[in-house]
Structure 1
Amino acid sequence: MSPTPDATYRRIHQEVTDRADALWKVASALHGDPEYAFAERRAAALLTGELRRGGFEVHQDVAGMPTAFTARSGEGRPVVALLLEYDALPGLGHACGHNLIAAAGLGAALAARAALEPGAGSVLAVGSPAEENGGGKVLEVEAGVFDEVDAALMFHPGVYDWARAPLTASEQYRVGFHGRAAHPTGSPTEGIDALAALVELFNVLSALGRRLPEASHVQGVITHGGKATNIVPEYAEGLFGLRAATTGALDDLAGQLRSAAAGVAQATGTRCAVDRTGVRYEHFRDSEVLSGRFAAHLGRAGIALTPPAPGVYLGSSDIGNVSGRVPAIHPFVAIMREDGSDHTPEFATAAASERARQVLSAAAEALACTAVDVLYDAELRAEAWSGHRGTVGSPR
């Protein structure tokens, strides 16, 4: 017989309380030693070491990434995944608070394992590198890490207390124009100016931007503009970041970029190549029922979550790709005031503050309670899957 929910929640509360100092030590160690995309070796070693000592079976080099890992406790279905991020931002350190995400996921996994009865299913801690640049979760999804998972849970520190994450779809494209070099004075009619074509593409995209739907935009930079002022540029290249409210809208926007580049090439006599760089981040699909459970558990710590403000979007994340496969949550919990911003030095400071320490414990407990809800409650799992708008997966 399963224990009563209240007894399980009390056990989790005690487990997180007993580990609070150790979890903060982990968060502080990560904060003081930031590592970057696909090179988070010390972070991965620290986290996997803690999970092994906690009784988890650890697998490293997941999906071909040396700093990715999974750690499992229990056997069979159902399976709940707790996601750990631990990459930092070059020049800013943990200005996105991933040190707190990693420590909260670790604490939740350890507490959930301790509170579960044998045969309740499996707790899977998933270490995902390079969220900021590279998309470790995208590669893990493609490698099948989430194929046998019933729900994926994480939280993100922020400047809002929001129950769900308004995260857009995003991808990057490299656009190159090929022209013909010539002397701009001696042989001006022989040259075909590739840079002029690239500049014209920026103009076309600027006009396009005035009629794009909400949350869609294109931001570009010139990465190659020529070699010298006395040579007509024979090659010019730009890098363009595309974002849209949904993955379908992102596909539409990418098609518009391709059409615009082809039209400019035809008009200027150049040739163009449009190639996607890196992985695509899908938009985030929130599991309302699971986010509601997390919010209720977090409320016991005195933190009230609300829906996000209409029309406000908070960037993109590879959790979107996970949410396309399984029911997922990604609530934001504030560690600084709303007039602040992540990806700033001030947010990096906040990620090591006393407020951050309080949020870490509260989030770890709420994640662990939500995890055991998923494992013990078949009706909850069925409801989460019935509301899921992803691409693959099935309830168990």
Structure 2
Amino acid sequence: MAERAPRLWDVARDLHRHPELAFEEHRSAALLGKELEAEGFTVERGVAGLETAFTARAGKGDGPCVALLLEYDALPGIGHACGHNLIAGAGLGAALALRDALPDIDGTLLVVGTPAEEGGGGKAIEVEAGVFDGVDAALMFHPGVHSWTSAPLTAQVQYRVAFRGRAAHPTGNPTEGLDALAALIQLFQTLAVVQRRLPEGSHIQGIITDGGRATNIVPEYAEGRFGLRGLTGALLDEVIAELTRAAEGVALATGTGVDVAQVSTRYAHFRNSDVLSETFAAHLARAGITVGEPTPGVYLGSSDIGNVSVRVPAIHPFVAILGPDESDHTPRFAEAAGGPAGRTAMLASAEALACTAADVLLCPDLGARAWTELRAKEAAGR
């Protein structure tokens, strides 16, 4: 890994200097694909119908299949403030190191370029397209403000709620109006009460996206967008049902019509492979980085890695590049993702990912235990 470190950091820095938004990562995907192709990987571009998604394969095709996941989309206005340039660099480094160590892999090394984690759900689309069919382990790391073995990531989806009323003049004929905006505001008030009894890890957060056109017209149309989260997929279904019941109740009370519709890709909750994350942690410790258990009751949002993790044994450990009093999605985090702390975390994680992938390829029992664990968690609804 040491001899490849300068080039890997060059790639990560290049991505950092040229941030691209969800589904627009043409330059990033081309750069990563080119690096893999130059090392003998067979690269397929535009997988799952996504222009900026790709896969790269090496190995004989017999035996286990390990996937290394690369993220490379950025955030509007603040670039790689989630450190996806480091995720791509680490995944690339792990793939190249494993190719060096096991040139005749008795199995398949699959590198998956996964666009649009920030809101587009590239991995979810790839899962449905069959990209992860036949995969025995899906591995990635994420830079953060904690060093944790796993990611407490909840299930998430967004819904639009639209109320339809009847326009009127607020003084000329106010009794003829059906105020759609008033209905939407009542929904927010109702949801504030509902929120108090939602279980841990669940919430509803909304914004008004259309509240009318003029103050002297009773709004006949009003629309809100709501982000819903649940600790598991089953709990997210319950939150969706709560939103729907509340919206329909408000419509009945106000005489308006209402439409409730899903408007985003649904992210599943993350189901961590303890077997594989413990293996990763042991390898990372050799680089002097210790990862511990997540803090109980702390949740770090949602990600489309969840959609992979409910189908295939997966890991998504966090490795800190800033202190716990900081946060990602900030200019400070973007700066760290292009600086020394980011470089250290990326290279150490690349090596640990490569070693974990090698363990899965060389020790069939490890993959078997990971699958047994996944099926047990699925059966328990965890």
Question: What is the TM-score normalised by the length of structure 1?
Answer: 0.94
Match of 1:388 in 2: 374
SS of residue matched to 2:374? coil
Structure 2 equivalent of residue 61 of structure 1:
46
Partner residue of 1:93 out of 76, 79, 87: 79
In 2, the alpha carbon distance for the partners of 1:332 and 1:119 equals: 28
Where does 1:187-198 land on structure 2 (aligned, <5 Å)?
Answer: 187-198=173-184
Paired amino acid for 1:181: A
Q: Which residue of 1 aligns with 2:60?
A: 75
**1:9 aligned partner:** none
Can you list the C-alpha shifts for 1:268-296, whole angstroms capped at 9, x where unaligned? 00000000012000000000010000000
Letter in 1 for 2:6: D
Aligned to 1:128: 114
| Equivalent residues of 1:158, 1:336 under 8 A apart | yes
1:35 to 4, 14, 20: 20
Structure 1 residue runs of 4+, over 3 Å off? 389-392
Shift of residue 117 of structure 1?
A: 5.1
Query: Do 1:193 and 1:232's aligned partners in 2 also have CA atoms closer than 8 Å?
Result: yes
Correspondence for 1:313: 299
Q: Is 1:258 paired with 2:244?
A: yes
Residue 377 of structure 1 deviates from its aligned partner by: 0.7
Give the C-alpha shift of residue 102 in structure 1. 0.3
Q: What is the CA-CA distance between 1:143 and the residue it aligns to?
A: 0.1
Tell me the distance in 2 between the aligned counterparts of 1:151 and 1:228.
55
Aligned positions, number: 377
Q: Are 1:157 and 2:140 matched, yes or no?
A: no
1:1-396 matches, cutoff 5 A: 16-76=1-61, 77-116=63-102, 118-389=104-375
Is the 1:35–1:43 contact (alpha carbons within 8 Å) kept by the matching residues of 2?
yes
Alpha-carbon separation, structure 2, partners of 1:391 and 1:39 = 34
Q: Secondary structure at the match of 1:280?
A: coil
After superposition, the C-alpha distances for 1:151-188 in whole angstroms (9 at most, x for unaligned) are 00000000111001100110000000000011111111
What whole-Å deviation, never above 9, does each CA across 1:251-282 have from its counterpart, x for those lacking one? Answer: 10001100100000000000000000120000
Displacement after TM superposition at 1:75 (Å): 2.8
Q: CA RMSD of the aligned region, Å? A: 1.1
d(CA) in 1 for partners of 2:258 and 2:99?
Answer: 55
Supply the AA of the counterpart residue of 1:43. Answer: S
CA distance in 2, matches of 1:256, 1:166: 23
> What is the deviation of 1:244?
1.2
SS at match of 2:266: strand
Deviation of 1:119 after TM superposition, in Å, equals 4.7
Amino acid at match of 1:19: R
Q: Cα offset for 1:391?
A: 6.6
Equivalent residue for 1:4? none
Check whether the contact 1:30–1:99 (CA below 8 A) recurs between aligned residues.
yes
Gaps of 5+ in 1: 1-15
Distance 1:258 1:125 in 2: 40
Show CA shifts across 1:127-156 (max 9, x none).
000000100000000000001100000000
Q: Structure 2: any 5+ residue segments left out of the alignment?
A: none
Instruction: Quote the Cα distance in structure 1 between the aligned partners of 2:364 and 2:70.
Output: 25
Letter in 2 for 1:379: D
**Displacement, 1:26?**
0.4
Match in the other structure for 1:3: none
**Residue deviations 1:215-238 (CA, integer Å, cap 9, x gap):** 111100000001111111000000
Aligned equivalents of 1:293, 1:28: Cα separation in 2: 28
Contact 2:166 2:179 in 1 (8 A): yes
- Partner amino acid, structure 1, of 2:67: A
Partner Cα distance (1:90, 1:329) in 2 = 27
State the Cα deviation string for residues 86-122 of structure 1 (Å, max 9, x = none): 0000001000000000000001011111211525101
Aligned partner of 1:154: which letter? M
Cα separation, 2, equivalents of 1:118 and 1:188: 78
